[in-house]
Structure 1
């Protein structure tokens, strides 16, 4: 009976040690455009911000007034969505960032050209 307690104690101590040396990481939630939300001239919103893989972008906007489309670098530069691009249009879209560059635009006529686009590099 004493051996069982000793083994359980070793397991508990090992788990506690692992928890002590690992640092939990929590994804940050970034409200795109801050209080103004996803709207015109938001393309400079990313300046001075740091993003990590796993962080969540929260796109808040009036449904049917805008959309969010994940595009590639060319789509970002030309304000056009490639065939098969993922389109979000709930007005409360949440997108988890992958490591590397991500690009998002609004594809409603004239919106992207009015600065409704963001480019993000997540570490």
Structure 2
């Protein structure tokens, strides 16, 4: 009889764990960076008023002939420079997961970051 209870308790615990894991995934949001205009100039203020969480997805939509997305450090964000080893995205439809803490992105094309083509997102 005790084996049955133990099995039932284990099965219930597993179901609860799966439910918790599933609910965490279901809460992840998808954001189109820049809204309808996409990833372009003057998107620096786009994150204002939004609440991001680690695991959310940022979708950067842009023309890859004219722009890119580079994941940078705070120093790279502040100075509009690309640190050595930075991840560069260039598909025109990049999907990037928000990590815990600060996430910084810029366009590295000449003058674009300085024209507000950069965002800081905190997950």
TM-score of the two chains, using structure 2 as the length reference: 0.84
1:7-26 alignment runs, 5 A limit: 12-18=11-17, 24-26=23-25
**Relative to structure 1, is the Cα distance of residues 9 and 50 closer, same or farther in structure 2, using a 3 angstrom cutoff?**
same
CA distance in 2, matches of 1:54, 1:20: 17
**Cα distance per residue 1:16-62 (max 9 Å; x no partner):** 45556666123211110011000000000000001111111100001
Task: Structure 2: state its 5+ residue gaps.
Answer: none
CA RMSD between the two structures: 2.3
Partner Cα separation in structure 1 for residue 87 and residue 19 of structure 2: 40
Give 5+ residue unaligned stretches, structure 1. none
Between Structure 1 and Structure 2, the one with more helix by share is 2
- Corresponding residue for residue 36 of structure 2: 35
Distance 1:18 1:100, change over 3 A: closer
Shift of 1:99: 0.3
